[in-house]
Amino acid sequence: MFHNKTKLFLSCISSNCTFKKPKAMDIGVALWLCPKKNTQLYDKLTTLMGSLNTLFPNKAPKFEPHITITTNVSVNLDDPAKTRDDVNKILSASAVALNSLPHNHSNLVTLGKIDSQRKFFKKLYFQVAKDPNLISFARIIRELFVITPQEIEQEDAKVNPHLYTKDSRGLLVKRKKSKKNQHSREKSTNDTSSAGAGSKGSDVATKALDMNKIQAIAATKASEWCIGEYDPHLSLVYSDLHPIDNALWRTIKTRVSDYLNVENCDSDDLVDNGLGWDGGVLKLILCEGDVNDWVELGSVDLH
């Protein structure tokens, strides 16, 4: 499930290497749904993307054909063992969630027209039909592995402020347990036991969280995100180029037609261009820094 680049990343964590914090463009850990390698669709899309990249200035970065299910997935990146555990847990749960959805369609992913936006990550892309199963899957993953961890941390900071402090950037972070504090807690516990029931330890009691409340909030926010924000698409090129002039757009259309045999690929009426896939491969990608430096943390084949 892990790859060479991933092993280097985990090794660097073990060696206490310093990783730059995410910038505004960074999207943390993302869950991708990709067509399987060595399939006709994967090969065609990869070839097309390589050809389109040459049309854009400044060496547009290369990446695999995929649709993003969600970004900002909660993965512990500070400890290699915990990273592995989180990655395995999330991928396994995601595969189970996807396989549990109704099998009432031929393709989970259906590609439509090509489109372009000003945004770097949506410079050139295929629109993807909002299949009910795809949207349900994205909502489940967003709720479980993005919003719920965020809500737990926020609520914990409110009810247990003694467990948190501010880092050098002024951001609230959980205090790390030092060996000295751990020894003090153990000593306090022993002293309390020796002194009898009338004596209290020096530690502040940690309050339990209302998980029913947290889960209800997470479910609501995930549903709102699916309706108002989630826009499934398959990116073809990442670039800062803006705008795409008419001559370049005509060349793009010609290459899409030549490589994929899709005519009028930018027509508003094109909701299904005949390309798509069911199943595929789920991948967790650490999307920090330059696109070429992104790391695949793990993957699981869908059957």
Dihedrals φ, ψ of 108, to 5°? -70, -35
Among 103-107, 133-137, 157-161, which is the least confidently predicted range?
103-107
- The percentage of residues in the chain with a pLDDT greater than 70, rounded to a whole number, is 83
Give 3's pLDDT tier (boundaries 50, 70, 90). Answer: low
On whether residue 175 sits in a domain, the answer given is no
Give 103's pLDDT tier (boundaries 50, 70, 90). Answer: confident
On whether residue 185 sits in a domain, the answer given is no
The candidate with the shortest Cα–Cα distance to 112, out of 122, 133, 126, is 126
DSSP 173-233: EEPP--HHHHHHHHHHHHHHHHH-TT---SSPPPPPP-HHHHHHHHHHHHHHHHHHT---E
On whether residue 136 sits in a domain, the answer given is yes
Looking up residue 104, the CATH number of its domain turns out to be: 3.90.1140.10
Find tokens 């990550």 and name the residue.
121
On whether residue 54 sits in a domain, the answer given is yes
Find tokens 């914090």 and name the residue.
21
Dihedrals φ, ψ of 177, to 5°? -80, 115
Pick the catalytic residue: 3, 103, 233, 303?
A: 233
Q: What is the mean pLDDT of residues 11-37?
A: 64
Q: For residue 133, what is the enclosing H or E element?
A: helix 132-142
Residue 178 has a pLDDT of 62
On whether residue 173 sits in a domain, the answer given is no
For residue 64, give both structure tokens.
């695999």
> Is there a contact between 104 and 132 (Cβ–Cβ < 8 Å)?
no
Q: Is 233 annotated in the active site?
A: yes
Give 186's contacts (C-beta < 8 A, 6+ positions apart).
Answer: none
Q: What's the pLDDT tens digit per position in 44-100? A: 999 999 999 999 998 899 999 999 999 999 999 999 999 999 999 999 999 999 999
Domain extent, residue 122, equals 4-165+210-302
Residue 105 has a pLDDT of 75
The candidate with the shortest Cα–Cα distance to 123, out of 134, 115, 135, 113, is 115
Q: Is 103 annotated in the active site?
A: no
Give 20's contacts (C-beta < 8 A, 6+ positions apart).
Answer: 288, 289
Residue 184 has a pLDDT of 47
Residue 183 has a pLDDT of 52
Q: What's the pLDDT tens digit per position in 206-228? A: 999 999 999 999 999 999 999 99
Give 26's pLDDT tier (boundaries 50, 70, 90). Answer: low
For residue 72, give both structure tokens.
């900002």
If one counts the domains in the chain, the total is 1
**Number of residues that make up the chain:** 303
On whether residue 159 sits in a domain, the answer given is yes
Is the pLDDT reported for residue 199 higher than 50?
no
On whether residue 184 sits in a domain, the answer given is no
On whether residue 230 sits in a domain, the answer given is yes
For residue 51, give both structure tokens.
């050809």
